[in-house]
Amino acid sequence: ALPGPAAAASGVGVNWGTMMSHPMHPAAVVRMLSANGVDRVKLFDADPWTVSALAGSGIQAMLAVPNDHLAAVARDPRRARDWVRDNVTRNLDAGVDVRYVAVGNEPFLKSYNGSFINITFPALKNMQRALDEAGVMVKAVVPLNADVYNSPEKTPVPSAGSFRKDINTLMVSIVNFLHRNDAPFVVNIYPYLSLYQNANFPLNFSFFDGGSKPVFDKGLVYTNVFDANFDTLVWSLRKAGVPDMKIIVGEIGWPTDGDKRANVKYAQKFYDGFLKKMAKNVGTPLRPGRMDAYLFALIDENQKSVLPGRFERHWGLFTYDGKPKFPMDLSGNGQDRYLLGVEGVQYLPSQWCVFDKDLKDRYRELPASVNYACSNADCTALGYGCSCNGLSHDGNISYAFNMYFQTMDQDVRACSFGGLAKIVTANASQGGCVFPVQILSASERVVPLRVLAASLVLSVAVFILM
């Protein structure tokens, strides 16, 4: 047998999100993390079911206070003390290696229209005070999107960077507070989003192999957007009076579906370059040396909002059932092979729900049926340039029906659609488009998929039926 994968490169962790309809058992996921040499995870809440599985594993954890709890923690220091007691002290006592508490997640995104502007800093202060009072060596941080700083359009170089004008005073206060408490600045940097949001962005500047025209700035040379973005933050911190502040990359990754440039080929190329960079401890032109980063994300999440883009449900290094998507070497030594998957995953029966083509006379009912299926299940792989883009008209309908059927645990009633569908036992997958069979959920707390924004549902249904 081949030896197991080498330990992940120093400073490399993963984000473990849990917004899926059918989660695997956390203990099985933790065993998979350990088997792949991953020694740190970043979570988006402090759910006991997930966190308790980390006890005794030796894996360092960043827990989180979700954005919708910030107001309460900001308003009342007792809420912070209660949160620390219930989620930090208790877990430390149980053998969970808690290192950080994330206060919110990207609370200053422009899409939030300022909802969290006035409560994030008070919540951060209350949380750090509660941690100090509890006598634990845990730091409160605020994971922020890279949109909290920028360079002006007329001088798009790192040295021109500073914190966003609308929040500059607030950011200066926050970074100085973090620095005084010896806490790092946690930033989420996504080269993929630079590409997704700008049609003219040079593709090769997203990667790490120097295949793009470099950017020159004050004697430094930038061959990729990650380095340029990171150093824009370094300049912003300098201007805020904390030039030596520690930085952790809270999220970085590349999705594998849901958009024409979200695919396995590009994801593999991106991770290969980034992990080799991490292993060499080269850092960035302005901040050379060791770096800490959490890859985003561990497992695909079929309940994530698709408002930012359909790719949101496809960030995982692993598929919904814990299988690795492509060969990679977390140690950064370039010895690419498939990571070890999650063991002991159980599947529902091998059956699929497909469109019954003999009922074409009832086509007028199809749009409503497809619309319903895709509003309650994940049809993002059907979009332009995605893995199931090449299906026939009937294949699109079958895909939508099957995704709903699987999401509903293969309930016979979920393969009716007014008589338009039927259950088959022959694998319905076509070419590169996988029609999945859902896994047996490890959670009793399964909630139905959030209904998407009506416009998105409609656009999917219209696309399928074109």
> Is the model's pLDDT at 457 over the cut of 70?
no
Span 384-418, pLDDT tens digits: 999 999 999 999 999 999 999 999 999 999 999 98
Q: For position 465, what pLDDT does the model report?
A: 57
Total structural domains in the chain? 2
Residue 457 lies in a domain: no
Q: What is the CATH number of the domain that holds 203?
A: 3.20.20.80
Q: Are 197 and 261 members of one domain? A: yes
User: Looking at the annotation, which residues are catalytic?
Assistant: 106, 251
Q: Are 305 and 363 members of one domain? A: no
Q: Are 382 and 285 members of one domain? A: no
Residue 37 lies in a domain: yes
| SS3 category, 52 | helix
Residue 463 lies in a domain: no
Residue 388 lies in a domain: yes
Q: Which strands form 185-188's sheet, in the order they lie side by side?
A: 139-141, 97-103, 60-65, 40-43, 12-16, 292-295, 247-252, 185-188, 144-145
Domain final position from 302, 318, 334: 318
Residue 336 lies in a domain: no
**Which residue range is the domain that position 179 belongs to?**
12-318
Residue 232 lies in a domain: yes
In this prediction, residue 464 has a pLDDT band, given cuts at 50, 70 and 90, of: low
Q: Are 368 and 262 members of one domain? A: no
C-alpha span between 122 and 174 (Å, rounded): 10
Domain final position from 318, 338, 365: 318
> Is the model's pLDDT at 31 over the cut of 80?
yes
Residue 252 lies in a domain: yes
The mean predicted confidence, pLDDT, of the chain is 93
Q: Are 296 and 368 members of one domain? A: no
**Six token digits for residue 425:** 């036992």
Q: Are 265 and 365 members of one domain? A: no
In this prediction, residue 82 has a pLDDT band, given cuts at 50, 70 and 90, of: very high
- Average pLDDT on 263-281 reads 97
Q: Are 146 and 50 members of one domain? A: yes
Q: Are 72 and 211 members of one domain? A: yes
Residue 180 one-letter amino acid? R
Span 339-364, pLDDT tens digits: 999 999 999 999 999 999 887 677 77
Q: For position 445, what pLDDT does the model report?
A: 46
In this prediction, residue 3 has a pLDDT band, given cuts at 50, 70 and 90, of: low
Q: Are 358 and 219 members of one domain? A: no
As to burial, measured by CB atoms within 10 angstroms (0-12 exposed, 13-18 middle, 19+ buried), residue 256 is buried
Give me the percent of the chain exceeding a pLDDT of 70. Answer: 94
Q: Are 86 and 33 members of one domain? A: yes
Residue 326 lies in a domain: no
